[in-house]
Amino acid sequence: MNIINNISEIDINKYLWNKNSQKKSNNSKNNEWRENCIVEMLKIYISNTDLSNSNKANFIHVYNSLISVFETEDFKETNGKVLDVIIKGGRSLNYDIELVTEKNPSIKIEFKFHIGNELVNNLPQLHKTIPQCLQVYLNNNRSILSIGDETYLDYYYSDYLPQIKNHYQLSRPICSLESYKKNILETLSKNNNGIYYYSQNLENEYKQFMEEFYNSTKSEISKYKQLIGKNPRDNFSNKCFYQSRHKFLEKYGQNVNYQVIENLLKEKVNTRDYYLVYNCRAKKFTLIKNKEIIIKNNSLLLCSGTQNKSILVNAELDKTPVNLECLLRWKNTNGCIGPAWQIGLKYPKAPRKKKIRIKHPSQALKMDQLYSLKAIDMKKFINSVDQQILSSLKGRQTKKILVPLLWGVKHIVKKF
């Protein structure tokens, strides 16, 4: 894709870089476009193409923001001038773009499209506000729990699918456990009538039961949204999930397989050199140097209300204590598609500061006593309140409000 030749066909600001114009179903396609655009713009930068006469304002803005991150003193001192760029990506690789520079033959860069209010400054792959945080489907070959992650599917199948069948009054018999575990990652499509179905060639018993289950939950959610105006958190399949997660973590949540988490980080996170983050609200690129996470072999359970929600694994990021939150969830419709661990970076909460209480004479003086004061006593009272309040206040804005107020009260008192 040559950006210079095709720029008239693309409104970069609206189509590629604006969150509001994106549909979730187009995420993969749009990200591929963005990555190709970035590579083409870097090729323009490497070739020193003169863009001073270009009238494409949106393109020039994005281009200037991109090249500025490779023109910083820190990047040039470490890596030198950019000589070549190669697009990578795909499921087999853990980065999107590879750079060749004067001092480094291979710089691995992962691109992230960020829609938050502020620029991310720590490991975007593990940042909760970015959709592409680390996801690990339940798989015994690299189980987060030493008892085997698929134990959860066994438990959910035996304890909750019968309840779901009864609640939704499903007519189809429950599929076999082997079929459930084999096909649980398969996704459904929607036809013109709004009915979800499997287009894949799957076992009949699984296909018929899960299609009926999926459409029943979607119907319940749709009715709730029409009545309440928002997605329900307390529909039956959600209740089953929250309860199953709580009981599962209560029983097995302490059996964390730390070596698997460490290997996942080495494979998915620690191998990259930089993150290239584009913030669509700030309309700005940021280049963030990757930092290695070191796992500490201890953890604890995190609760939401009275229910176990996730596992917090203690770790270090650049010698700073952090937690990795391993959240057990379903990728799409609880009980139907994609049980997975979502792993995200979580900083320990700073202790809350105690509020300073201002002590001044008015606290010991009732309003009727204030009215009965003589003029001279009133002036003394106002002066003491004035000094004690102003000496204990912090912040210019607060003083700007209070000083004129106290000044006005003093002048009223002078009229006694």
Which whole number is the average pLDDT over 185-198?
A: 88
Where does 7-130 have alpha helices with state H? 27-46, 57-68, 73-79
Answer yes or no: is 210 within a domain. yes
Answer yes or no: is 376 within a domain. yes
Sign of the alpha-carbon torsion through 129, 134, 139, 144: negative
Q: How confident is the model at residue 126 (pLDDT cuts 50, 70, 90)?
A: low
Residue 7 pLDDT: 47
The two tokens of residue 166 are 């009864």
Answer yes or no: is 347 within a domain. no
Q: Where among 235, 252, 269 does a domain terminate?
A: 252
Answer yes or no: is 213 within a domain. yes
Which whole number is the average pLDDT over 264-283?
A: 81
Answer yes or no: is 264 within a domain. no
Q: Count H helices and E strands in the chain, helices first.
A: 13, 12
Q: What domain range is 405 assigned to?
A: 361-413
Which whole number is the average pLDDT over 378-404?
A: 56
Lowest mean pLDDT among 76-85, 120-129, 310-319, 330-339: 120-129
Which whole number is the average pLDDT over 364-371?
A: 51
Q: How confident is the model at residue 416 (pLDDT cuts 50, 70, 90)?
A: very low
CA 191 to chain centre: 31
Q: How confident is the model at residue 5 (pLDDT cuts 50, 70, 90)?
A: low
Q: Where among 222, 252, 282 does a domain terminate?
A: 252
Of 260, 318, 325, the closest CA to residue 292 belongs to 318
Residue 159 pLDDT: 93
Residue 119 pLDDT: 45
Residue 161 pLDDT: 93
Q: What is the pLDDT of residues 399-410, one digit of tens each?
A: 455 555 555 555
Nearest 5°: CA angle at 371, between 367 and 376? 125
Query: Who wins on pLDDT, 383 or 246?
Result: 246
Which whole number is the average pLDDT over 343-361?
A: 63
Which whole number is the average pLDDT over 224-244?
A: 77
Q: Where among 196, 226, 252 does a domain terminate?
A: 252
Answer yes or no: is 372 within a domain. yes
Q: How confident is the model at residue 173 (pLDDT cuts 50, 70, 90)?
A: very high
Q: How confident is the model at residue 377 (pLDDT cuts 50, 70, 90)?
A: low
Phi and psi torsions of 199, nearest 5°: -85, -15
High-pLDDT (> 70) share of the chain, %: 69
Answer yes or no: is 148 within a domain. yes
Dmax over Cα atoms in the chain, in whole Å? 94
Q: What is the pTM of this model?
A: 0.68
- pLDDT of 299 higher than 50: yes
High-pLDDT (> 90) share of the chain, %: 20
Query: Who wins on pLDDT, 275 or 10?
Result: 275
Residue 322 pLDDT: 83
The two tokens of residue 113 are 């499209």
Q: How confident is the model at residue 134 (pLDDT cuts 50, 70, 90)?
A: confident
- pLDDT of 206 higher than 90: yes
Answer yes or no: is 390 within a domain. yes
Q: How many domains does the chain have?
A: 2
- pLDDT of 9 higher than 50: no
